[in-house]
């Protein structure tokens, strides 16, 4: 078990700054996902925590102890690269024993730990099998077993599911999360895949261009994105962003969008230019004479729902539509938004504007 603190962490490669002054407090026992597009600095951050890179400036504390310049082996942290990498010519037991034998752990201790891990993952009956004959799910459990058998203070994982196909990735997410609930070992997991992040994380840290943009629980990230980048990055389809007509002021509870008056949670900040953000699932199609007028330009059917692409005076947007509604291309509709789910951004700074809705939420993670 370990709490990890990074303080004013910075990493420069020649004249490129990979990580800019990151401060972050990772609580003991949490599953934390570093999420962002490639080049955002998430892997570099992870590698500094692991000791595979040394920072240009700043500090890393493991349980309060400064480990910034310690070598990886001196940190008692396990770096997991790819979860599916098993030695196919060895048996299940040999694969599980391998990391321990490498470290010269005594025989009796190896046996005890392998038994324990096999019990946790419910693969005791497979210990005598060969890797080649295993079903996909069992293989993944063995791979997980090999990662946890060393029993480290923390796991660091760099896109461990990246090379798996979609079906296995989902299965593996479920297994990883279940395992975390049993072990409660602090885990830092790097991915660019928001589905993995949402499925796994207690806390998500969204990064872009070397900066931490938001650190919060999945719900906070989803409902109250700290800036336009996070709003666009999270959610599928992503949040709709529509320009507001004119300036917005504190105390306003309705704004003009595409010539229509749209109710919003009462603003507690002002902006010269603003964007209204609303998720596709919080857009409702209503009668054309109500709300923001729009035309349906494209529909996709997903069984449980439709996704409609709409064109309005304020720009294009998407809506998740109930399956019974059967929207059609060319339909003229009105758009209404779930008022309490609407967020506003300053169009110049691109930051979230405070409102009575955002005031109800307190971020679950410390960062700077």
Q: Give the residue with the Cβ less far from another protein, 72 or 237.
A: 237
The residue among 74 and 329 lying less far from another protein, judged by its C-beta, is 329
**Nearer Cβ to another protein (13/302):** 302
Helix (H, G, I), strand (E, B), or coil: what is residue 141? helix
Q: Which of 222, 224, 229, 345 binds another protein (CB under 8 A)?
A: 222
- C-alpha span between 152 and 129 (Å, rounded): 26
Shortest Å distance, C-beta 60 to another protein: 30
Cβ 154 vs Cβ 67: under 8 Å: no
Residue range at the interface with another protein (CB under 8 A); choices 17-25, 52-60, 190-198, 246-254: 190-198
Nearest Cα to 45, choosing from 75, 77, 20?
20
Q: What is the DSSP string of 281-299?
A: GGEEEE-TTSSEEEEEEEE
Take residue 23 and report the two structure tokens written for it.
Answer: 């401060």
Query: Tokens in use for 170?
Result: 């989902």
Which residue, 10 or 340, is less far from another protein as judged by CB?
A: 340
Per-residue burial over 82-108, b if 16 or more Cβ lie within 10 Å, else e, is bbbebeeeebbbebbbebbeeeebeee
Instruction: Give Dmax (Cα) for the chain.
Output: 77
Nearer to another protein, 91 or 136 (CB): 136
**Pairing, β 332-337 against β 154-158:** unpaired
| CB of residue 302 to another protein, shortest distance in Å | 6
CB of 83 to another protein, least distance (A): 18
CB 78 within 8 A of CB 150: yes
Q: Does 219 bind another protein (CB under 8 A)?
A: yes
Q: How far is the CB of 283 from another protein (least distance, A)?
A: 12
CB of 36 to another protein, least distance (A): 14
Task: Based on the shown chain and the rule CB under 8 A, indicate whether residue 302 belongs to the binding site for another protein.
Answer: yes
Two structure tokens written together for 62:
């493991």
In this structure, are strands 240-243 and 4-13 parallel, antiparallel, or unpaired?
A: unpaired
- For the CB of residue 165, give the shortest distance to another protein in the complex, in Å: 7
Site string for another protein, 267-286 (x = CB under 8 A): --------------xx----
Which residues contribute to the site for another protein (CB under 8 A)? 165-167, 193, 195, 198, 218-219, 222-223, 236, 281-282, 298, 300-305, 323, 338, 340
């Amino acid at each position: 078990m370990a709490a990890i603190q990074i303080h004013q962490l910075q990493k420069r490669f020649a004249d490129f700054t990979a990580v800019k002054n990151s401060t972050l407090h990772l609580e003991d026992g949490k599953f934390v996902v570093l999420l962002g597009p490639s080049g955002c600095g998430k892997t570099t951050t992870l590698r500094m925590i692991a000791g595979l890179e040394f920072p240009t400036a700043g500090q890393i504390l493991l349980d309060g102890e400064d480990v910034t310049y310690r070598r990886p082996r001196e940190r008692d942290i396990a770096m997991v690269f790819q979860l599916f990498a098993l030695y196919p010519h060895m048996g299940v037991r040999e694969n599980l024993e391998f990391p321990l034998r490498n470290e010269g752990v005594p025989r009796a201790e190896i046996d005890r730990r392998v038994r324990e891990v096999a019990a946790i993952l419910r693969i005791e009956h497979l210990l005598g099998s060969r890797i080649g004959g295993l079903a996909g799910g069992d293989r993944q459990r063995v791979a997980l077993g090999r990662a946890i058998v060393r029993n480290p203070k923390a796991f660091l994982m760099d896109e461990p599911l990246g090379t798996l196909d979609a079906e296995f990735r989902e299965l593996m997410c479920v297994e990883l999360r279940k395992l975390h609930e049993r072990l409660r070992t602090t885990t830092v997991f790097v991915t660019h895949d928001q589905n993995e992040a949402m499925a796994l994380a207690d806390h998500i840290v969204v990064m872009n261009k070397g900066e931490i943009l938001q650190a919060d629980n999945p719900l906070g990230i989803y409902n109250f994105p700290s800036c336009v980048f996070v709003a666009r990055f999270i959610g599928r389809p992503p949040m709709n962003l529509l320009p507001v007509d004119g300036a917005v002021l504190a105390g306003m509870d309705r704004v003009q969008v595409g010539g229509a008056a749209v109710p919003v949670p009462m603003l507690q900040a002002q902006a010269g230019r603003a964007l209204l953000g609303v998720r596709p699932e919080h857009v409702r199609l209503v009668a054309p004479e109500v709300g923001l007028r729009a035309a349906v330009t494209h529909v996709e059917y997903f069984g449980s729902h439709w996704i409609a692409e709409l064109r309005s005076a304020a720009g294009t947007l998407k809506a998740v539509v109930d399956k019974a509604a059967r929207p059609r291309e060319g339909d003229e509709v009105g758009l209404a938004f779930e008022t309490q789910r609407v967020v506003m951004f300053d169009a110049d700074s691109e930051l979230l504007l405070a409102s009575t809705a955002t005031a109800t939420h307190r971020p679950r993670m410390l960062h700077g």
